[in-house]
Amino acid sequence: MGVFLIGGDLAVRRIGFGAMHLSGDGAGRVARRAVELGVNLIDTAFLYGGGANEELLVEALHPYPEDLVLTTKVGVARTGPQGDWKLDGRPETLRDQVERALWRLRVERIEPLQLHRIDPETPLADQIGTLADLRAEGKIGRIGLSEVSAGELEQARSIVDIASVQNRYNLMDREHEPVLAACERAGIAFLPWRPVAAGATGASAVVAAVAASLGATATQVALAWLLDHSPVIIPIPGTARVSHLEENVAAERLRLSSAQRAELDRVAAGNFPGTG
């Protein structure tokens, strides 16, 4: 199985698991099955139920396997008990959410800890600086960002080392190709959320044809293309079904021929304005 070293020394499998969709009685079974299959990077966030998703993972997996990496995200808060969610990157909010995440997850340190979104109403230096302070205190091991531009990533890196970036990205949605390129140059882990998405009829037909020739599913082909596209990509597909989880993880064993890769690259080129 493929492995990537986040921050140069934190070993994770090339396919992770996004826990956002987990809920209900069967959620624990899905999380445990992910670990049984060798997945050792699980992504969650305070936003997912105000910490409820984190608690679900704790109930299912604690005490954790030694190599399990639980990454969570902070920086989104509610305006009140029943209020709307909004970006909140104020230092006091970030610090409070990290402290609460440590308590909920029953860990002494979170790595990596990701800023869910950059709050435009709070100076970036204050947001990143707070995370850097928490890292210096030993409460965060590595720092990541989510949904950032290449420019924002560069600004953040001028303040502190960034270990991971979590942006929306897939075969049909390559808006963040410049961010991926920046991550490749710096050796930063790139965790695409929504790694599989439906596209135009013609593009879907190409993916389906490749899948049929491999005896695989379209989802597996889309994930295999991501793994082949860049060595820093770690897809984190999410699901609430064990069967779908097993399908996703099996994609890591899929090998695309040069001709298949060329066909998929042609489809992908049509989804990035800078190519084609």
Please give the single-letter amino acid code of residue 77: A
Q: Which candidate, 182, 203, 179, places its Cα nearest to that of 192? A: 179
Catalytic residue among 48, 169, 193, 225: 48
Please give the single-letter amino acid code of residue 79: T
Let me know if 48 is a catalytic residue.
Answer: yes
CB neighbours (10 Å) of residue 169? 26
Q: Do residues 211 and 218 touch, judged by C-beta distance below 8 A?
A: yes
Residues 6+ apart with CB under 8 A from 129: 91, 159, 160
According to DSSP, the residues that pair with 143 across neighbouring strands are 113
Q: Which candidate, 149, 159, 251, 160, places its Cα nearest to that of 207? A: 251
The tokens 């082909």 sit on which residue? Answer: 221
Q: Transcribe 61-77 into DSSP letters.
A: HPSPPTT-EEEEEE-EE
Q: Do residues 53 and 44 touch, judged by C-beta distance below 8 A?
A: yes
Q: Which candidate, 113, 103, 183, places its Cα nearest to that of 150? A: 183
Q: Do residues 115 and 98 touch, judged by C-beta distance below 8 A?
A: no
- Distances in Å between the Cα of 90 and the Cα atoms of 44, 58, 142, 199 are 21, 27, 19, 38
Residues with active-site annotation: 48
